[in-house]
Structure 1
Amino acid sequence: MDVAESVAESVAESLARIAEADPRLCAFLEVWEDAAPVPDGSELPLYGLPFAVKGRAGLRSYAARKLVEAGAVPVGATSVPGPGTYWQTWGLGARGRTLNPYRRDLTPGGSSAGSAVAVAAGMVPLATGSDGAGSVRIPAAWCGVFGLRTTRGLLPSPDRTGLATAGVLGRSAAELEAYLGCVVEGYEAAGVLPGRAVWSPDLGFAAGPDLDEEVVGIARAAAERLFRLEEPPGFALLDPKEEWFAIRGGSAPGVVARENAARLAELFTGVRVLATPTTPFRPHGHEGPGGRFSTSLTWAFNVSGHPAVSVPAGFTEDGCPVGLQLVSDFGTEGLLAGVAASVPPWTPNGTNSPR
C-alpha cells in the first residue's frame, strides 16, 4: 500500500468510526462524508491526518486553515452549546445532546464538548477548540483526553475581550505537538523538562464544599508522578469570577488581572510549572451544575492570559475521568506539550472505556 492509499484509508476509518459512534454520543453537528486527502500532498507534515473543527464556523478559524495547509483533512464540525443553553454546560449535536463517552448519564463539559467526545471515542485523533473560561480544558478533563489552550495573543482569535484563545484536543501529547508545530510560527519543542512544580489544590480561593476530595487526590497523585511537588506557604491567586464577567461584558482588565499576573510572574521566576486539578469536581448530570462553577480552577488563566494544558490523571471510583491542569509562563506551550508527552494516554479497561 502506498502513502496515498494509507492516508485515504485513515480518513475512511475515521468517517466509519463517526458513523458507528456518533449516533450514540452526538458529538457532531456536520460530518463531511466526502472528506479526502489532497492527491499530491504526501510531502506535507500532516498529510492525511483526519481532524474535526469546533462548531460550524470552526473551518474558518486560523488554526484550522493552517492544519489544512499542512495536509490534515477536516471530517466534520463538532457540537457546541445549543441556543439559549446556560454558558457552563455541554453541547448539542445534530442528533441531540452530546454525551460523555465514559458516563453517558453525565456531561462531557463544554463548550468544546463535541471536540473532546470525538477524540475520546476515537472518531478523530485531533480536534480544534477554543477556551474562554476552560472550554478546552474542562471537556478534556471530563473526557479523559489532552487539551491545551494557548497564550493570549499567540494566535488570532475572534474574541475581542481577550479571554478566549485557540486550543486543541488530542488523544496524546503527539497531537498537541503536531498542532503547535503547524499553527504557531517559529514553534520550538521543549528542551530540558522541569523536575519541580508548585501544587495548589484550590489556587487559594476555590476551597469549599464544591472541591471534590477524590478528584483532588487523583490529580495530585498524577502530578507526583511527573514532578517533585512544592507548596509554598501563602501562595494564592485572587478569585477572578467577578472580573471575568466584567471583562466579558466589555470592561478592561482590572485589579484582579494585574495582581494575579504579578503573583504568577513571581511564581514562575522560581519554578516553571503550576499544577492544579483541572476541575473542582467530577462531571455533573445533564440537568446542569446547579450553582457550582466547573471553571473555578481554569478561568484565572483566561483572565491572566497564561497557557495551560489538561492531561488525563485517572478515574474516580464511579468511572469519571479526572484531569490534571498544568500552567506555565507566557509563550511556553512547548514546555506544556513536552511535559504532557510524559503522560501516557489512558488505556481503557473494564468499565473505564468509552462506550
Structure 2
Amino acid sequence: MLHFIDTLDASGARAAAGRVDPGLPLAGVPFLIKARTPAGSPVVTRLLAAGAIAIGTSTRARLDADSQTFGWNGRDFTRNPWDLSRSPGGSSAGAAAAVAAGVVPIATGGDSAGSLRIPASFCGVVGFKGTAGRVPRPGGRSLAGLMTSGIIGASLEDVATATSLVSGPDRLDPSALPRWPVPELSAGPWRVAYTATLGRHSADPAVDRLVRGSLAGFVVQDPSLSWLAVDDAWLTLRALDAGKDVDGAVLREAVRVRNHNSTALADLFDQVDALVTPTTLTVAHGYNRHEDNIMVCDLCWGFNVTGHPAVSVPVGLVDGLPVGAQVVAPHGRDDVALSVAASIMTPLSPPGFPLPG
C-alpha cells in the first residue's frame, strides 16, 4: 500500500535481534537504511554498533529524475500515509513514510537539497540535517560539502540521540566534527526571525499562516536578510561534488553566493537565536507529480550551500496534510535548532498509522 521498502531483510533482522546486547543504547530498535547508501557508511555502522536492527532499505527517487521528491520501489511509487494519492517527498521517501506509518521509529537518510527535511515535512515527522560535518561521510570530505547524512524519526529526542551516536570523526572521514553529545534541550526564551520566502518563491498563504502561528509567544522579527538565490550556485556545487568539470568563473560565482549568504546569516544570528521558515512551499503534491514541483526545495537547499544546521518538525495540518516548520541555527549550534524546534513541534499521527511509543 505504501511501497516504502526497497529491499527487506527479515531473516537477517531476526538473526541480529537474537545476538543483540541488551545493554546497548539502541538495543533492538528497528530501522531502515536509505537505498544505495554506500557500504560501510558510518551512519549505518554506528547505529548497528549501538544495537539497532536494520530490517532493510527504504525507497528513494530514481537516479535519472529531475526532481527527487518521490519514492520508487521498482514497481510503484511510494505513498504518503496521510493520503495515498500524495507523495511522501524525497529523496528519503521510504524513510519518512515508514516512520510516519509507525513501522520504525528512526531511519537513515541523506540531505543535499532538503532530502531529510522535505519528506519529514510532507509526512509529519522529524528530519534533521546537522551542521556540515556533524555526521561523517563514507567518502570523506567532499569538494563542495552539500550532502549530509542524517536521521528521520517520529520523536525529536530519538533523532537527537541517534545523531549523537553516529557523530564524530571516522577513519573514512577524519575531518568530521568532534563527537556531539546529546544536547539538553532548553525552553528559551528564544528570539527568532521568520520568513516565508528565500529567493524567488513564497510559501502558500495557508502554510505561511500555520507556521507563523506556531511562533506565538516567541519574540519574532521579520529578518533583514540580504539573501541571494542559490539555484545556480547549488547546481554548480553539485556538479563539483560529482567530479564534473566546472568552469572557474562559474565556480567563483557559486562560492561568492555561498560566502555572501553565510555572512548574511552570521549578521542575522547576531540579532536572533534562530531563523524559522516553512520547510516546504506547499503541502505534499501528488505521488506522480514530482516533475511539476521542482521548487519544493526552495526553502531548504540554501542551508546545504552554507552548511548550517536545519531541522524540520510538524506544526499542524493544512487541508488534512502535514506542514513542517524549518528551524535554522548558527554553525555548530545544532542544540539551538533542536531546542527551538521542540518548542513549536506538534506531534502528528496519520489516521490508521499510530506512531510507535
TM-score tier, shorter chain, comes to: 0.7 to 0.9
| Other-structure match for 1:187 | 181
Gap regions ≥5 residues in structure 2: 168-178, 241-245
Which residue in 2 is equivalent to 1:18?
A: none
The aligned amino acid for 1:187 is: P
Counterpart residue number, 1:29: 6
Query: Percentage identity across aligned positions?
Result: 36
Q: How many residues align?
A: 324
3-state SS of paired residue (2:113): coil
Inter-partner Cα distance in structure 1 for 2:334 and 2:84: 32
SS at match of 1:25: coil
SS in 2 for 1:220: helix
Q: 1:249 is paired with a residue of what secondary structure? A: helix
Specify the code of the residue in structure 2 equivalent to 1:313. Answer: V
Partner of 1:257: 258
Distance 1:248 1:56, change over 3 A: closer
Matches within 5 A, 1:34-183: 34=11, 35=13, 36-37=16-17, 39=19, 41-57=21-37, 60-93=40-73, 95-157=75-137, 158=139, 160-183=143-166
> Counterpart of 1:216?
208
Distance in 2 between residues matched to 1:292 and 1:95, nearest whole Å: 23
Which of the numbers 196, 210, 219 marks the counterpart of 1:201?
196
Question: What letter matches 1:312 in structure 2?
Answer: P
Residue 170 of structure 1 aligns with an amino acid whose one-letter code is G
Contact 1:244 1:299 (C-alpha < 8 Å) held by counterparts: yes
The alpha carbon displacement at 1:105 in A equals: 1.2
Alpha-carbon distance change, 132 to 308 in structure 1, aligned in 2, over 3 angstroms: same
- The alignment yields a C-alpha RMSD, in angstroms, of 2.2
Instruction: Give the TM-score, by structure 1 length.
Output: 0.85
Tell me, which stretches of 5 or more residues in structure 1 are unaligned?
Answer: 1-23
1:302 aligns with 2:279: no
Taking a change above 3 Å as real, the CA distance of residues 291 and 128 of structure 1, as seen in their structure-2 partners, is: closer
Question: Which is further off, 74-83 or 36-45?
Answer: 36-45
| Separation in structure 2 between the aligned mates of residue 38 and residue 266 of structure 1, nearest angstrom | 53
Quote the Cα distance in structure 1 between the aligned partners of 2:222 and 2:318: 24
1:265-310 CA-partner distances (Å, limit 9, x unpaired): 1111222110000011222221324264001100110000111000
Question: 1: distance between equivalents of 2:294 and 2:73?
Answer: 24
**One-letter code of the match for 2:158?**
E
Q: Is the 8 A contact 1:243 1:254 kept in 2?
A: yes
Instruction: Give, in whole Å, the separation in 2 of the partners of 1:302 and 1:148.
Output: 12
Deviation at 1:138, TM superposition (A): 0.4
Q: What CA distance in whole angstroms lies between the structure 1 residues aligned with 2:32 and 2:328?
A: 25
- Output aligned runs, 1:266-281, within 5 Å: 266-281=267-282
Measured against aligned partners, the alpha-carbon deviations of 1:11-42 in whole angstroms (never above 9, x if no partner) come to: xxxxxxxxxxxxx0010111111214253511
Indicate conservation of the 8 Å contact 1:31/1:76, yes or no: yes
Q: Which residue of 1 aligns with 2:289?
A: 287
How far apart are the structure 2 equivalents of 1:313 and 1:206?
Answer: 24
Q: What letter is aligned with 1:114?
A: G
> How has the CA–CA distance of structure 1 residues 94 and 75 changed in structure 2, closer, same or farther, with 3 Å as cutoff?
farther
Aligned 8 A contact 2:66 2:291 in 1 = no
The alignment's TM-score, normalised by the length of structure 2, stands at 0.84
Q: Which residue of 1 aligns with 2:176?
A: none
Could you tell me which residue of structure 1 aligns to residue 172 of structure 2?
none
